[in-house]
Amino acid sequence: MGTAVFYHLIRSSAEETLATILPRALGQGWRVMIRSPDRARLERLDARLWLEPEEGFLPHGLEGGPQDAAQPVLLGAGPARNGAQGVALIDGAEPLPGEEAMERLWVLFDGNDEDAVQAARGLWTRLTGLGMAAQYWSEESGRWQMKTERKPQ
């Protein structure tokens, strides 16, 4: 089983946080799926990824094209069709069955939205109940700090 990493967003946006996570994942040779139920949000993220990180382009594509399987980073609402080792969940997206076996599940949630916080707590309970390792990171101090970690069962 992989590790679920929860990011409690207070100061940074999901886009800013992904711009940090994605180059690291790609640097490890991983493919990534970014899942959101909000197509407009995915289109905005697609446009932003053409510009970040500043030192280079992040290869990616929106779900539904002929090259989905070849995309290092695929943005969509469905399953990872690109052989991803990690899935980033934003806007309340849920992991799909079997994704707990991936190297990484990143759960980015708005810390200023009580419903999003409660949903993230429920997801933490479900994933750790399956035996998945999990980390909870917060930026309330002004920089990212790991607040708690649950080792795999």
Q: CA of 143: how far to CAs of 7, 15, 23, 54, 110, in Å? A: 12, 16, 19, 20, 16
Tokens of 107: 């759960």
Asked whether residue 5 is domain-assigned, the answer is: no
Whole-number pLDDT of residue 59? 86
pLDDT in tens, 67-121: 999 999 999 999 999 999 999 999 999 999 999 889 999 999 999 999 999 999 9
The answer to whether residue 4 sits within a structural domain is no
pLDDT at 13 over 80: yes
Per the domain annotation, does 103 fall within a domain?
A: yes
Q: What's the domain count of the chain?
A: 1
Instruction: Tokens for 24, please give them.
Output: 């690291």
Whether residue 17 is predicted with pLDDT greater than 80 in this model: the reply is yes
Helix (H, G, I), strand (E, B) or coil at 40: helix
CATH code, domain with 53:
3.40.50.10110
Domain around 42: 11-150
55 pLDDT more than 60: no
Domain contains 34: yes
